[in-house]
């Protein structure tokens, strides 16, 4: 794993205080390129259908798809998993695009983070019900120690311990999605 640049605060005002940069934008860019090469090794020139899990995967999917040369379709779902003490664990809502047309297609689910795995486990079930030719998962970040559902990504960018991260599409209460780096918030934030 990558060395962190150490905490905090040479980052600019729009960064959360005491944030620690885990992955710089340039490093993410390089890793996304490697993931694209791995994905290409699997599909070759076959057409794929990317299903992006919004909103967190927005920036990742934009970079990833431009690094992939094969013909593709893009669609999206919106998933919200409610975290925190106020809600029961595993409560999950997935809004499907009603035009989700994936029968007999190679589906690549693209998500920001694989955490408990519940979102992608559920989404895989939903997608499977549409009879795709294949279903695979690409996650930029994986937190294997948090896993509850039995779900393994086919393509993973970075493995991290149990940290809460923001930036590069990832939010905390709607903030920080626009940060170019991936940043860890201090525990208890
Ligand atoms: P899972 O169903 O795997 O537990 O949930 C995954 C979703 O929770 C991710 O797609 C992401 O939206 C959110 N999530 C999990 N861990 C983090 C994190 O460290 N930071 C942020 N911003 N979102 C997270
Ligand atoms: Mg997500």
Q: How confident is the model at residue 96 (pLDDT cuts 50, 70, 90)?
A: low
Q: Is the CB of 113 under 6 A from ligand 1?
A: yes
pLDDT in tens, 114-135: 999 999 999 999 899 889 999 9
pLDDT of residue 16: 77
pTM value?
Answer: 0.88
Q: For the domain with range 47-82+90-182, which CATH number is right: 3.60.150.10, 3.40.50.2020, 3.30.360.10, 3.40.50.1820? A: 3.40.50.2020
The ligand that comes nearest to the alpha carbon of residue 123 is: 1
Query: What are the sequence ranges of the domains in the chain?
Result: 47-82+90-182
Instruction: From 112, 122, 168, 173, give the residue whose CB has the most ligand 1 atoms within 8 Å, as the site to mutate.
Output: 112
pLDDT of residue 1: 44
CA angle 158, 15, 175 (to 5 degrees): 80
pLDDT in tens, 19-45: 899 999 999 999 999 999 999 999 999
Rounded Cα gap, residues 177 and 170, in angstroms: 5
Q: What is the mean pLDDT of residues 51-70?
A: 96
For residue 114, the CA-to-ligand 1 centroid distance in Å is: 6
pLDDT of residue 3: 45
Contact by Cβ (8 Å): 75, 100: yes
pLDDT of residue 87: 42
Q: Is the CB of 144 under 6 A from ligand 1?
A: no
DSSP 38: H
């Amino acid at each position: 794993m990558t060395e962190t640049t150490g905490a905090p605060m040479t980052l600019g005002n729009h960064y959360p205080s005491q944030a620690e940069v885990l992955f710089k934008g340039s490093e993410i860019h390089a890793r996304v390129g490697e993931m694209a090469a791995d994905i290409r090794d699997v599909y070759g020139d076959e057409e794929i259908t990317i299903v992006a899990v919004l909103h967190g995967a927005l920036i990742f999917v934009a970079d990833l798809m431009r690094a992939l040369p094969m013909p593709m379709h893009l669609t999206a779902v919106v998933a919200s998993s409610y975290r925190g003490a106020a809600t029961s664990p595993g409560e999950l809502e997935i809004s499907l695009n009603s035009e989700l047309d994936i029968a007999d297609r190679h589906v690549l689910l693209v998500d920001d983070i694989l955490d408990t795995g519940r979102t992608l486990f559920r989404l895989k079930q939903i997608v499977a019900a549409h009879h795709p030719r294949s279903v695979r998962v690409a996650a930029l970040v994986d937190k294997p120690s948090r896993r509850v559902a039995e779900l393994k990504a086919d393509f993973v960018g970075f493995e991290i311990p149990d940290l809460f991260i923001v930036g590069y599409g990832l939010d905390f209460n709607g903030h920080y999605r626009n940060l170019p780096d991936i940043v860890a918030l201090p525990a208890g934030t």
